Structure 1
Amino acid sequence: MRILMFGANGQVARETVALAAAQGRDLVALDRTQADIADAEAVARAIAEVKPDIVFNGAAYTAVDKAEGDPAAAERGNATGPAVLAAACAKAGIPLVHISTDYVFDGTKTGAYVESDPIAPLGVYGGTKAAGEAAVRAATERHVILRTSWVYGAHGANFLKTMLRLAGDRDRLTIVADQRGCPTATRDIAEALFAVADAVAAGTVRYGTYHFAGTGATTWHGFASEIIAHAARHTGRTPDVAAITTADYPTPAQRPANSELDSSLFEQTFRYRAAPWQTRAGEVVDTLLAP
């Protein structure tokens, strides 16, 4: 099976490319300079040249706070782009796997969100991602939308890498403790993408919207504490991690207080479950800090 992935510079795409190489999969990844997903001609040309059996969309505008001041850029990357890409996939008769986000929810639910829960994005980023989901559904029936959350890994900028950097410079960190979610490793997202591709190849795929996130939930404070405790095995540094509230750390964009996603439907359908977030976080820390 030949896979075409857009958004090659993103942290998920870089992990997916590395895993594809390790597993001997046929994957071609293109960055924005090679094919902007909002450019219909560029997308059509890429599909015609690569001739994929399935397309992964890892391209997105992910600067949550900046989106509040630049909604046009967020709209292009998160709504227009997926609409163009889905239409091109429909025309070519190939399925699309599109990565979305927990930010389509407002975070007011008490328990974990399931796929049927009503969406209510709080800001520009979540609103444009919700619009992108709707555009994909409208353009092609042969789609799988994966909503994920709190993404981190060895590639690109993310919370885990920020914590390692700060822990190397400071003796005290203040981290928000009243937002809850499921830290999700890029390794697990890459595995999930391939699980969908394998189901397409086997003819057993069930198209639709799914939640896929790391196993287990925590707060940003809990996530940071785990990262720093594991890093101490390499660095010997144990800075204090102090809990603060969202109100203590105001940002341009409002974050959902609860981003916990129930991934059981994906596991039942595609037979893959993400590792416990603590396990994956430790693996990434080891990858980044081990000699």
Structure 2
Amino acid sequence: MRATCPQHVLVRFGWLLDDSADGVLGRFLSRAKEPGELLLADDRRGNPTPVDDAARVIISVIKQLDCEAPLWGTYHYAGHEATTPLALGQALLTEARLLHPLAIESPTAQAHAARPDAAEEPQHAVLACKKILHTFGIKPRAWRAGLPSLLDRYYRHV
């Protein structure tokens, strides 16, 4: 893409969280409704990013490009504060329990290498967002702050 089209803007996002049933959040909450063990990696790191925050970033970039500013390139954006799937799961359970009963009390730690998706998912997926901050003035927002509205939308649609 970059070689074919030098005037491009690519935005790479952290772990996207949306309110769909088949997204990361929906699959996690479906598993949390059922009794049993919920295994999550405790040594994989990344930045969760609610989709409404990603949409805000896309709109901000487009508005600045619309002013004919030559800001071509590849950018990273992700929610503030890197975390593990285990810590993300604990945060989701804490917030989700305020809205809906769940069978799982707490997820169980599992090594990244033991996960069935270890070959597809990088162990280190933390994104540096300095370029998008310095170029467009877009600061990462805390992903935890987006969980209540995301969970509210999810439970209204399931």
Whether TM exceeds 0.5 here: the answer is yes
Over residues 190-229 of structure 1, what are the superposed CA-to-partner deviations in whole Å (9 max), with x where a residue is unaligned? 1111112101111234111111111111001111111111
Determine if the alignment matches structure 1 residue 240 to structure 2 residue 68.
no
For 1:153, the equivalent position in structure 2 comes to 18
TM-fit CA distance, 1:263: 0.8
Q: Cα RMSD between the aligned structures?
A: 2.0
Q: Distance in 1 between matches of 2:61 and 2:134?
A: 12
Bigger share in helix = 1
Moved more, 234-243 or 214-223: 234-243
For 1:199, the equivalent position in structure 2 comes to 64
1:91-240 equivalence runs, <5 A: 136-155=1-20, 157-237=22-102, 238-240=104-106
Give the aligned residue type for 1:207: W
* Seq. identity, %: 24
What are structure 2's unaligned runs of at least 5 residues?
none
From the superposition, tell whether residues 271 and 252 of structure 1 become closer, same or farther in structure 2 (CA, over 3 Å): closer
Give the aligned residue type for 2:26: K
Q: Distance in 2 between matches of 1:221 and 1:288?
A: 20
**Number of equivalent positions:** 156
TM-fit CA distance, 1:146: 1.1
**Maintained 8 Å contact 2:33/2:101:** no
What are structure 1's unaligned runs of at least 5 residues?
1-135
**Maintained 8 Å contact 1:196/1:205:** no
Question: Which one has a bigger Cα radius of gyration?
Answer: 1
TM-fit CA distance, 1:169: 1.4
- SS of 1:202's equivalent in the other structure is coil
For 1:282, the equivalent position in structure 2 comes to 148
For 1:37, the equivalent position in structure 2 comes to none
Compute the TM-score of the two structures, normalised by the length of structure 2.
Answer: 0.88
TM-fit CA distance, 1:266: 0.5
Over residues 7-60 of structure 1, what are the superposed CA-to-partner deviations in whole Å (9 max), with x where a residue is unaligned? xxxxxxxxxxxxxxxxxxxxxxxxxxxxxxxxxxxxxxxxxxxxxxxxxxxxxx
Compute the TM-score of the two structures, normalised by the length of structure 1.
Answer: 0.50
TM-fit CA distance, 1:185: 1.5
Give the aligned residue type for 2:137: R
Q: Distance in 2 between matches of 1:171 and 1:233?
A: 21
TM-fit CA distance, 1:264: 2.0
**Maintained 8 Å contact 2:41/2:111:** yes
Give the aligned residue type for 2:12: R
Q: Distance in 1 between matches of 2:15 and 2:61?
A: 21
